[in-house]
Chain A
């Protein structure tokens, strides 16, 4: 019916340049905060600006950040996994058990990853298969996984990991650049590409915004959510290997409370806790900020319990901030 369309109207791709949008984004703000913290730390301690102490500081966040990248994807899709720290404990415990059976380094690594994926798949099956809310499921598996570790270990610890195994958590690739830090950069890159440059990543955003419309558009919502739970499990398995290697031992209380730090990192990175938006760049910078904060508090000799108060407060602030900002915005409009 050509008479209804006398001429085609041209529609622009974009009206605002991507560069301008990037400058006024949450990650840019985070970057400013990170630089400020860096300067603050260097004034507070004369030792901070040495290559080795900077390198040491990275261990504060690399393991958590490796989980945080996968967690970011899961939270964007509208789910959450609170059992990550418990997965580390179980994965580390099973590695320790296999160590007693005489497993070598490569087998231990395989076991660590395998247990992680298995735990993730277990969470995924309960959430996707049975349609249970992930927050409830993973509160349950949080106790469940760590409970198994306690049963196996009691108040004992597994020690005596092989010397080669120590490389993952203690080794250096070049000068002060640790293996963990390189792995962190690599994982960040992989997740950046996965979330922002692939069809899979696009579908995660769509699911998080409107899972029904995603399903009605032919997106395999359940499959993608299941894969994301497995990915979080896998990354927790990797973190378990790194942490076990770094500590050189396994206790059932290993990585206690990490789930909150991981989630704080994700939310601070600008991932909406309600799902549907956020960037890997943001989480990447947030990881550095968390590292700088805990390093700085360490320099001030702040005890651990105060640190956890600080993390809790930070979590509330970063969740509340965008919601309050949104309210102010809509009030200004009205």
Chain B
């Protein structure tokens, strides 16, 4: 039995209201790739942050080469030979490739100035090592392509003496050819005896590159072993686990005639060939991996981005959206994924946040009527059970779940026909989650139509009438959500795994 290079045992980590990790185990082995698999929110990122010294675990211990270590900072992690390649690495455009690679540990001369000669020669060597000798270490970062920038990020991660390399969805931003190159690099790292943790949603990649797997679900480790004796189906089952254990409200909405037609919607870069209908009283779920183009499509339906072609028909009328204001007038509202940036204005009172899109109804001839605004805000805030001391307190003082209620209240106040919810329960506590779900059920019972983008399988399957799966900007499947639909089918569709014939 081979000894692990790094071993995490009994790691737990909680955030207010969420147990992100519960007693998880992970081991990495020299010269082998271990794949960490799990849905969004399963705790993968938290684990990576624990391993790189950004978070400290509440319980449990980490040992490197058999010795227990404390990773109190990113620097500690470096000094124990742990390095990470993140999905989005922060690099500096105005600096040279070499400076980016060695930022923070630049070789110095005896006068403590930068040893440029050594910097460039070291950087050139590293680039050669990772098969990127076509990149000149002296060019400014802004002058090289995105794919090459990614290679620089890899070079940066390997510029420290590391035995343990963490790759967090390294292929998400890469093209097919670039992924091939990356895999060659991973092979090389394996041969050099590094222990690699590889995080990806794409099963074909996992099976191609990894020897071992560890599956996380809801912050717990639910399985691990060798990929060679585990089938994709078994892994998918571990990811999904026992049947959906959250309780979703019973639905008794009657589905009516179509209210929204989207035909041939195209966008130069984000999505293509989008065709679907939304019916009155329906919840239409959009499932897919992060980056599948769902948010971009929703923002086009709300008039924020313009499609390059296609027609949008609302209640029988074809309509061109010049901006969100047109969408609101047409009865479509959008609850954005980035709540703090796009949803609420943190430094303004709750009442002003809620009344913002309804000012034309609360005011008289363009003059504000505060009494009407308070009445409107109270009506929806109380209906949503907003937990706030007063309507005049700034929205930024509320918890995430209550901020989300403010955004929902804002949109309900305009009495829309169609409401688009983009990851409506992302990052909010269980209680608020349930409130949002029950509210969705109420809305459709009242005859509204809901489009819900969600990356959480239980939520999509618990709430939707139909589910559209998107992958790489395309609609790949439409499912009726009935007993025949399994979570495995959805995951396969989103990840592009062929159905296996047993």
Contact = CB atoms under 8 A, between A and B. Distances in A.
Contact of B438 (A1, A10, A198, A200): A1
Interface string A1-36: 100110011111111100000000000000000000
Interface residues of A, number: 35
Q: Give 6 closest A-B pairs by Cβ, nearest first.
A: A1-B438, A218-B328, A199-B359, A12-B390, A218-B325, A14-B392
A210 B383 CA distance: 26
A193 B366 CA distance: 11
Given A200-B366, A209-B348, A12 B391 contact: yes
A76 to B, nearest CB: 12
A142 B93 CA distance: 32
Contacts of B343: 213, 216
B435 to A, nearest CB: 6
A16 B366 CA distance: 27
Given A15-B390, A210-B345, A212-B341, A220 B323 contact: yes
Contact of A11 (B304, B388, B442): B388
A199 B368 contact: yes
A333 to B, nearest CB: 14
A300 B381 CA distance: 59
Contacts of B352: 202, 205-206
B366 A11 contact: no
Contact of A12 (B324, B368, B389): B389
B385 A4 contact: yes
Interface of B: 249, 302, 304, 323-325, 327-328, 334, 336, 341-348, 351-352, 356-357, 359-360, 363, 366-368, 374, 378, 381-383, 385-393, 410, 434-435, 438-439, 441-442
A4 B382 contact: no
A196 to B, nearest CB: 8
A197 B368 contact: yes
B363 A209 contact: no
Nearest to B371: A13
Contacts of B392: 13-16
Given A13-B390, A206-B352, 8 more contacts: A1-B439, A11-B388, A14-B392, A197-B367, A201-B368, A202-B359, A209-B347, A218-B356
A215 B346 contact: no
Contact of A215 (B323, B363, B390): B323
Contact of A198 (B334, B346, B357, B366): B366
Nearest to B323: A220
A1 B389 contact: no
B345 A209 contact: yes
Interface centre among B342, B435, B439 (most CB of A within 10 A): B342
Contact of B410 (A4, A16, A217): A217
Interface centre among B324, B381, B434 (most CB of A within 10 A): B324
Nearest to B382: A8
22 contacts: A1-B249, A4-B435, A10-B382, A11-B382, A11-B391, A12-B391, A15-B389, A198-B367, A198-B368, A206-B345, A209-B348, A210-B341, A210-B347, A212-B342, A213-B343, A215-B324, A216-B302, A216-B304, A216-B324, A218-B323, A218-B357, A219-B325
A214 interface: yes
Contacts of A13: 351, 374, 378, 390-392
A291 interface: no
A213 B442 CA distance: 26
A206 B438 contact: no
Contacts of B366: 198-200
Contacts of A15: 389-390, 392-393
B391 A215 contact: no
Interface string A175-213: 000000000000000000100011111110110011011
Contacts of B388: 11
B348 A205 contact: yes
